[in-house]
C-alpha cells in the first residue's frame, strides 16, 4: 500500500452499533439519576419541618406528660371530695371502679376546657391539642386497678401542623396512687369493708401494711369521748395543694362499734 494512501474504514456497522450502545447507556444513567433526585426531593418535602424522628417522639412524650399532670390533679381533687362525704353508703358507691373512672373523666374534661379556652388554633395542632381531645372525650378511655389509673387516647394524630404528617400513636399514661402519696379507691373500699371484721383496727392496719405502706397512717382515738371512739382516722402522710392550700387528706371511717350502735337505734 502506498504510504500516502488513507487507510480504509472497516466494519462501519459495528462501530455505529457500539456508539449507539454507549449513548443508550448514558441516557439510562442520566434518567436514573434524575428519577432518584426527584424522589429524594419528594421525600424531603413530605418530612419538611421534622428534621429528626425524635421530634415526633418528643411531642408524644410532651402530650403524655401533660395528660399525667392533669390526671394527677384530678385524682387529688377526687380524694378531697371523697374525704368530705358524710355518708358511708355514698363513699362506698363513689370508690367503685365505674363511678370513680367516670368522675375522673368528667374532671379531665372540665380542666381541659378551661385550658382550651385560651388556646389558639395553631396551638391546638401541637402538643396542646391533647386538651382539645380530652375535652371532647373522643377515643379517651380510663382503666383502674388496685395500684394505678391508666388514661389512654387511641390513635392521636401527631406532627400535623403545616405538614399533615400521618402519625397516629396511642397516647397513654399510668398514674400510680402510691407514688403520689395516695391509695387506690379499691384499697379504700377494702378498709370500708373492715367494719364487718371482729377487730376493725387490726383489719385496717393489715391493709395499710401490705398495700400502701407509708402513704397513709392510722390514727386511733386517744380519749374516751363517745364521738371520737366511733371513728378510726386515716391520715395521709403527704400534704397536697388543694384550693390554694397545702393540707393532708383525712378519712374518718366508722368502726364496728358505731355500726352496731346505729343498728341498735333502728
Q: What is the 3-state secondary structure (H, E, C) of the chain?
A: CCCCCCCCCCCHHHHHHHHHHHHHHHHHHHHHHHHHHHHHHHHHHHCCCCCCCHHHHHHHHHHHHHHHHHHHHHHHHHHHHHHCCCCHHHHHHHCCHHHHHHHHHHHHHHHHHHHHCCCCHHHHCCCCHHHHHHHHCCCEEEEECCCEEEEEECCCCECCCCCCCCECCCEEEEEECCCCCCCCHHHHHHHHHHHHCCCHHHHHHHHHHHHCCCCEEEECCCCCCHHHHCEEEEEEEEEEEECCEEEEEEEEEECHHHHHHHHHHC
> In terms of domains, do 133 and 101 share one?
yes
What pLDDT does 49 receive? 45
**Residue 8 confidence (pLDDT):** 52
Looking up cell 444513567 gives 29
Same domain, yes or no, for 147 and 66? yes
Residue 9 within a domain: no
pLDDT at 257 > cutoff 50: no
Query: Is 243 part of a structural domain of the chain?
Result: yes
Percent of the chain with pLDDT over 70: 65
pLDDT at 54: 75
Which range has the worst mean pLDDT, 69-73, 148-152, 185-189, 217-221? Answer: 217-221
**Are residues 95 and 166 located together in one domain of the fold?**
yes
Number of domains in the chain: 2
Cβ neighbours, 10 Å, residue 105? 17
Domain holding 69, by residue range, is 54-176
Digit-coded pLDDT (tens) for 175-218: 999 888 888 888 888 777 776 666 666 776 676 665 555 667 66
The confidence score (pLDDT) of residue 256 equals 45
Output the pLDDT for position 186: 85
The stretch 160-180 carries a mean pLDDT of: 78
- Looking at the fold, whether 143 and 203 belong to one and the same domain comes out as no
The β-bridge relationship of strands 171-176 and 148-153 is antiparallel
Q: Is pLDDT of 6 > 60?
A: no
Could you tell me if residue 159 is inside a domain?
A: yes
- The pLDDT of 120-129, averaged and rounded, is 82
Q: Final residue of a domain: which of 149, 176, 203?
A: 176
Higher pLDDT, 33 or 227: 33
Does a structural domain hold residue 130?
yes
Nine-digit cell string for 219? 390514727
Residue 237, pLDDT score: 81
Q: Is 192 among the domain residues? A: yes
At residue 72, the pLDDT reads 95
- pLDDT tens for each residue of 92-121: 889 899 999 999 999 999 999 999 888 888
Q: Which of 120, 146, 176 is the last residue of a domain?
A: 176
Of 124, 155, 176, the residue at which a domain comes to its end is 176
Is the pLDDT at 37 greater than 70? The verdict is no
CA distance 150 to 115: 21
At 258 the pLDDT is 44
pLDDT of residue 176: 92
| pLDDT tens per residue, range 41-68 | 444 434 444 455 677 788 889 999 999 9
CB 54 within 8 A of CB 159: no
Distances (CA, A) of 253 to 83, 126, 201, 234, 263: 10, 46, 10, 8, 16
pLDDT at position 161: 53
* pLDDT value of position 141: 93
Tell if the pTM clears 0.75, that is, is over it: no
Give the N- to C-terminal CA distance of the chain in Å, as an integer.
141
What average pLDDT does range 8-24 have in this prediction?
Answer: 65
Let me know if residue 14 belongs to a domain. Answer: no
The pLDDT score that the predictor gives to residue 261 is 44
Q: How many CB atoms lie within 10 A of CB 61?
A: 13
Distance of alpha carbon 64 from alpha carbon 127, whole angstroms: 9
Report the candidate in 151, 148, 150, 152 with the shortest Cα–Cα distance to residue 176. 148
Angle at 46 between CA 45 and CA 49, to 5 degrees: 75
Task: Assess if residue 61 is contained within a domain.
Answer: yes
Q: Is the pLDDT of residue 223 over 60?
A: no
- 90: in domain: yes
Amino acid at each position: 500500500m502506498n504510504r500516502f494512501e488513507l487507510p480504509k474504514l472497516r466494519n462501519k456497522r459495528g462501530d455505529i452499533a457500539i456508539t449507539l450502545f454507549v449513548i443508550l447507556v448514558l441516557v439510562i444513567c442520566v434518567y436514573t439519576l434524575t428519577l432518584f433526585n426527584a424522589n429524594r426531593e419528594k421525600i424531603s418535602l413530605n418530612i419538611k419541618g421534622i428534621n429528626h424522628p425524635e421530634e415526633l417522639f418528643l411531642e408524644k412524650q410532651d402530650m403524655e406528660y401533660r395528660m399525667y399532670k392533669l390526671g394527677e390533679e384530678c385524682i387529688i381533687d377526687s380524694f378531697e371530695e371523697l374525704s368530705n362525704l358524710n355518708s358511708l353508703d355514698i363513699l362506698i358507691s363513689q370508690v367503685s371502679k365505674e363511678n370513680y373512672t367516670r368522675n375522673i373523666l368528667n374532671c379531665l374534661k372540665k380542666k381541659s376546657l378551661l385550658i382550651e379556652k385560651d388556646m389558639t388554633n395553631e396551638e391546638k395542632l401541637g402538643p396542646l391539642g391533647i386538651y382539645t381531645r380530652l375535652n371532647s372525650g373522643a377515643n379517651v378511655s380510663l382503666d383502674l386497678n388496685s395500684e394505678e389509673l391508666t388514661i389512654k387516647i387511641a390513635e392521636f394524630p401527631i406532627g400535623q401542623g403545616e405538614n399533615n404528617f400521618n402519625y397516629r400513636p396511642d397516647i397513654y399514661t399510668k398514674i400510680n396512687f402510691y407514688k403520689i402519696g395516695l391509695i387506690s379507691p379499691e384499697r379504700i373500699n377494702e378498709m370500708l369493708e373492715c367494719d364487718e371484721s371482729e377487730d376493725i383496727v387490726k383489719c385496717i392496719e393489715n391493709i395499710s401494711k401490705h398495700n400502701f405502706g407509708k402513704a397513709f397512717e392510722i390514727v386511733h382515738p386517744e380519749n374516751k369521748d363517745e364521738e371520737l371512739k366511733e371513728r378510726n382516722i386515716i391520715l395521709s402522710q403527704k400534704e397536697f395543694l388543694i384550693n390554694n392550700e397545702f393540707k393532708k387528706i383525712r378519712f374518718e371511717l366508722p368502726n364496728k362499734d358505731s355500726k352496731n350502735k346505729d343498728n341498735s337505734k333502728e
